[in-house]
Structures are given as C-alpha cells and as structure tokens.
Structure 1
C-alpha cells in the first residue's frame, strides 16, 4: 500500500501552519522554572508543573528507593499480578484526601477518561459534554457509542434544553472539565449540580488542571466550592500539579468496583511501575501539607493577568495558572512563539484542532517557582513582541 497520501496531507498541514514537530528539551539544574532547548536556557511558561514538584528531591528519592526495592516494572495488569501493595496504600490515601468511598489509579488522564466514560454509558445513553472539554473526554464518548450532546461552552440554558430533549434516555451523563485547559476559565459547577439533580443525570468532573491547586489541601475546585459530595465521578491527574504521571478516579465503592470490571483501559493495561506510585504518594503528602505553593501560584496567576491586561492584552478572568493570549492566525501564533524563544521564553503556539479555528493562541502556563521579577520581565517582553507583530495596536 502506498503511503504517498501521508506526505501530501503533511504538506497541506504545513501550508496551513498546522504541522506539529517534536522538539527536545531538558530541565536546567539549579534553575527551577527553566528548560534547555536548542542550547538556550528558557523561562518555561508552557509547563503544567504548576506547583514546581517535578524536580522535588523528596519525590525523586522516594522513586529511587522504590526502584531498588520493587524493581523497574510491575510485570502485568493489576488484575493479573501487577497489583502491588503501593497501589492499595495510595488509593486509600486518595480516598481519604477526596473524602469519598474509594479511589482507583489509572495510567494517565486520557485512559482514565476514555475508560470511565465507556464503562458508564453505551448505546441508548446520552453524554452531555461542554464543547471545550478535553479531547480525552470527546474520545471517551466516541468509544462508548453513546449519543454525544455537546452544549455551548458554559451555556446552562443550552444544556437544560438538551437534557429535556433527551429526557427518555436510558442513562444520562454530564461531564465537564473544572478548569478548561486552553482557556483557563472555570466550569459553572453549582449550576451543573442543580441540573444533574433536576434531570436524574450522573455528573463527572475532570480536575486535571485544578487538582492540587484549589481546596484547603489541594483537593480541587469542587472541594473549594463545597460541592464535592454532589459529584458522582471525580477524575484528576498526577501529571500536572503533582509533577509526575498517572491519574485517579474517586467516587463510591460501587463505582470503583464497576470500573475494575468494566473499564477496558484499566483491565487491559500493564500496571504503572511501583516507582511511579511511590513518587505519587510522596507528592500527595507535599500537596496536602505545603499550602504556600498554592498561595504563591494563585497570587502569581492573578498578577500576571493584570500585567498582561495593563499591557493591552485581553485575558480570561480568574486565578488559574492557564493564561491564554489569543492571536487568531496560525502562522502569526508560530511567529509569536518563535520571537518569545529568541527573547528567552518558552511559550508554545496552540492551534486547531486543539482550539477552534481562528483562535490560535499562546498558552502561558505558570508555576509556583516563577518569581515576581521573572513574570514582570516576561510580561514586558510579551507586550513588546505583541506590538512588533501587530497583535497589539500601536
């Protein structure tokens, strides 16, 4: 079979400034918040390492110790022989942290979302999903074969209409990000809880970009708003604020028992290595105890937004560490990113299909390790480049 069509399609993507390419990077020893790329040390404003834990020495030491005692890999899926003791210990700690009946660890957020959604619904069911939800949610609905009713972003009247339209569905599942990954704004969680109750639906939230950041002990946005007990399925990741890899699902004991029996990515995947579990457990202790990291991050996020607005940019409201600057044109977003790298800042251009057509952007992502001076200098540089490229009016 000829593969020439691939080259043609790739050329088309390149012509629309949509081709993606891998680029090597590495951490910079002794400089948290920086990466090394193309031989240059860059202020890293693209990482999801929100609390600056990816290089934490206590986490690294916990992983090293586990490697020496438990070995490199788990050897099998958890339902075969891969269910090591560290899984039980971590899941007990997660259930306690989230104040729920039980927890289940998954390989990553993508597999958690696709596994949970396809385990809960199928043909004859309907999933109601915000149009800006993460791709893993969209793919989970597709794999489930349930009908996908997408409501306009944070439009509760549209969701209400769709729930009424599909009132005869066998099962109804509402699913949403809590913090939307490309815009940094919050879901209307109080309203979603009300609609869930009125229409007999299940409610699932993805706290990937809010877990570790919000709540008294970093439990997430639902705890911060006092509605965690109203959430049926609570999913989050360890790959962002926790600085590691993996994901969790929390809920009732019945939910977790069901997922163990029906979530295909869980059943048919080799278990995470014990060293990863050890690192997660150590990171969870830090997340629960070191509230100053959250305070510094949220304060920096608010201030950075203010600095960009004072410089003439329009940014989303709130205090999440995700701060997008909309450029619009794909090629212009790539030029903006390249100019930022020349100036010593790593900030990636985000283009369709990750975001809607005409909304290409630079997605700035902050960390608790960024200093006020670093962010002030970055904001000034961003404004200068915006003026140079015509993104801002002179």
Structure 2
C-alpha cells in the first residue's frame, strides 16, 4: 500500500511565497488591543482582516462575564451536551437566541463550523442540496457527510438555481443552502429571489448567518431582517466568532427540528459542550447587540469610506456593501506579496487564495470594524497605496 504521508505537502505556489517571506498564514498575535490593533512580531499593526466587526472580543463586559462564568463553572464542561455537559447557561443563551431570531428554539454548538455541520443530519442519499457556489467549507462538508446529492449554482444566479430546481428528483427532499453575507466577497445572498424559488418548488431554505447576524438589519438580526424575510427562512445557523466576539455557534429554527438535531447531528452529539466562558461572553454580546445599534452603524460607515478610498486608488473591490471589502488580485503569488507589503506597512490584512476563493481570484480581504478610527482607516488606505504602486497593481 502507498504511504499517505508521501502526499502531504503544501501547494507548489507556496514554495516561492515562503522563500520570499510572504507566507501569510499562522502569524501569531502576541496581544490583541482594545483599539482595533494587534501586536505581532513586536510591532503594533492595524487589524484590517478581523471578523470582530462590532469590536466586542476585547470589550470589558464580555471579558468580565467570561471570568465570572469560569469562577462559577470552571474552564470546561466535562462532556457533550447530550450526556453531562449541558449547563443552565447554555439553555439561557438558547432561549435568548431563539427569541432574538424569532424562532421557536435554538441549539448552541461548540463552533460555528459544527453548527453548519449539523445540517447534514437533515438530508440523506436520496435528497438534493442546492448550494451557492461560494458557500463556506463547513456547509460543503455537511452535504458530503450526509451523502446527499450536491448541486451548486453560480453565485446569486437565480436562473441557474431555478433550472436546477426544475430538474430535481421529485422522489427526494430538497434543501437550499446559502449565506446571508459571504465571507470572501462581502456580498449578500439574493434572499428575496432564493426564498421565492424555495416556496415555488416546495424546498426548505437554510441560511448561514455567521457574518451578518449582529451586523445587518434594524435590530441586528441579520440578512433575513435586512430583506424583511425573517419568516421565509426555515433554519438559521450562526457563529459567535464574528459579531459576538467569542467562539461557538448555534442553529435556530422550529422546535421539532432542533430536538431532532440535538439527537441526530453528530457534530452536536459527539462534541464537548461550549465552554462556560464563551457561553457567558455570547450572552453579554447579545445584550450589546440588542442595545447598542451604533456599533453596527459605525462599522458599516467605516467600511463604506474604506471601500470608496480603495476603489478610488484603482483597486478592484467588487460589489460588496457590507463590512468586508475584497481587494481582487488574481494571482496567488502576487496576492501574498501584497499581503507582505501591507504587513511591512503596519497593516494586518487577510490573504484569501483557492480553495477559499475560486481559482484565479486570489484576494486581500479587508474588513472594517466599529473600533476603527478615521486615522486607522487612513493608515490602511495609505498602506494599500504604497504597496499597490510598488507591485504595479495601481498607477503611480
């Protein structure tokens, strides 16, 4: 038999990237500051690729809530939710989340990835899942584990989705998977069109709100509220690692479905329960999301300014209207070189290369947060201007 270890090597593109010191991943942060900055390699950099859109991960209220929970309940939960790991704190958070999202029930999971993976329990080999081409890897893994048939439609292409629905197998169940706010492009899922097709064809709609719940909508309830379509979504998933400033995730939907997932979703049944610290922090974050709308307003205003400035320099920034601004580069090597140039200029951004994005569409992901000051936004733009000119990405 062949040795599986012999195949374990990085993509060929990363060899020159590493040699030139532009490898952009696993950079250790020494300290995360409450000013929207991070300490890396002894330097203070502007955090320009963070998912912490509301700036809550360093908020004293979340840290105090987490510390109180640790003192009362310890650092772990000793087991899965099914057996001995459930806490009344989990149940409190689940009740609050269900009410917040206008759903009957919610199920808290250790990570957002595991929340999405739980959806695999809803479908099986005779069923069909229709998924946007840009959905997160966790959703793709959920479908693969379910052994359902996966049919992917082009990003937000309603005509393509309609054709796939019309050619579907009527003997099996159908489920549409999309995201409220896509993590690589910052674009919103075309929820009005997708929800209409779901109703017309009698299939269920599951919406991944990892990036938009807490940020979008008048009450911060995400893309569904933003479009006025909260009743059209059958199931929500969310991640606490974005707007909630901690770790963990949840699934929210009809009570019967949540009970089913509690007993049949392997990612729930066989995972240790969410830690007391993260659970308490998520509850504190929900309080802030509900009472301080100015945080999401500031993040969106900062993003609009940053997008306009970067576009004005000549960078291709796509059609996002959210806190995520994709700076399209295309080539992997050039993208990593731009990341390194930005790093040297004092900006800690995120390089996204395949398979996180389609082949030939490598990009620098920039995100604005509620903590970013106007001076920090200026620093980000100045860094892009200098780096982009050195690499010939924009005019001099």
Category of TM-score, reference length = shorter chain: over 0.9
- Secondary structure, aligned partner of 2:188: coil
CA contact (8 A) 1:239 1:246 kept: yes
CA contact (8 A) 2:130 2:175 kept: yes
CA contact (8 A) 1:28 1:41 kept: no
Alignment of 1:98 with 2:101, yes or no, is yes
Deviations 1:147-192 (A, max 9, x none): 0000011110000000011141410000001111101111100001
Alignment of 1:23 with 2:27, yes or no, is yes
Partner in structure 2 of residue 184 of structure 1: 186
CA contact (8 A) 1:16 1:330 kept: no
Mind listing any 5+ residue stretches in structure 2 that lack a counterpart?
none
CA contact (8 A) 1:299 1:319 kept: no
Alpha-carbon shift at residue 384 of structure 1 (Å): 2.3
CA contact (8 A) 1:307 1:376 kept: no
Partner in structure 2 of residue 87 of structure 1: 90
- Secondary structure, aligned partner of 2:82: helix
1:36-47 correspondence runs (5 A): 36-47=39-50
Q: What is the aligned residue count?
A: 391
1:1-394 correspondence runs (5 A): 5-6=6-7, 9-10=9-10, 12-15=12-15, 17=17, 21-29=25-33, 31-116=34-119, 118-394=120-396
- Structure 2 distance, partners of 1:172, 1:11, is 36
Alpha-carbon shift at residue 393 of structure 1 (Å): 3.7
Closer, same or farther in 2 for the Cα pair 1:11/1:329, shift >3 Å?
Answer: closer
- Secondary structure, aligned partner of 1:364: strand
Deviations 1:220-277 (A, max 9, x none): 1101211011100111110011110011111111111111121111011111122221
CA contact (8 A) 2:132 2:156 kept: yes
CA contact (8 A) 1:302 1:318 kept: no
Alpha-carbon shift at residue 83 of structure 1 (Å): 1.0
- Structure 2 distance, partners of 1:330, 1:349, is 9
CA contact (8 A) 1:123 1:145 kept: yes
Closer, same or farther in 2 for the Cα pair 1:252/1:28, shift >3 Å?
Answer: closer
- Structure 2 distance, partners of 1:113, 1:4, is 29
- Secondary structure, aligned partner of 1:79: coil
- Secondary structure, aligned partner of 2:84: helix
Deviations 1:265-316 (A, max 9, x none): 1011111122221111111101111101011011111111111111112212
Given the two structures, how large is their TM-score scaled by the length of structure 2?
Answer: 0.95
Mind listing any 5+ residue stretches in structure 1 that lack a counterpart?
none
- Structure 1 distance, partners of 2:322, 2:25, is 28
- Structure 1 distance, partners of 2:234, 2:25, is 39
CA contact (8 A) 1:100 1:252 kept: yes
- Structure 1 distance, partners of 2:358, 2:36, is 29
Given the two structures, how large is their TM-score scaled by the length of structure 1?
Answer: 0.95
- Structure 1 distance, partners of 2:169, 2:141, is 23
CA contact (8 A) 1:129 1:150 kept: yes
CA contact (8 A) 1:43 1:346 kept: yes
Alpha-carbon shift at residue 321 of structure 1 (Å): 1.0
Alpha-carbon shift at residue 217 of structure 1 (Å): 2.3
Deviations 1:90-138 (A, max 9, x none): 111111111111111111111111112x111011100000011111111
* Aligned-residue CA RMSD (Å): 1.7
- Structure 1 distance, partners of 2:212, 2:32, is 26
- Structure 2 distance, partners of 1:389, 1:53, is 35
- Secondary structure, aligned partner of 1:12: coil
Alpha-carbon shift at residue 319 of structure 1 (Å): 2.6
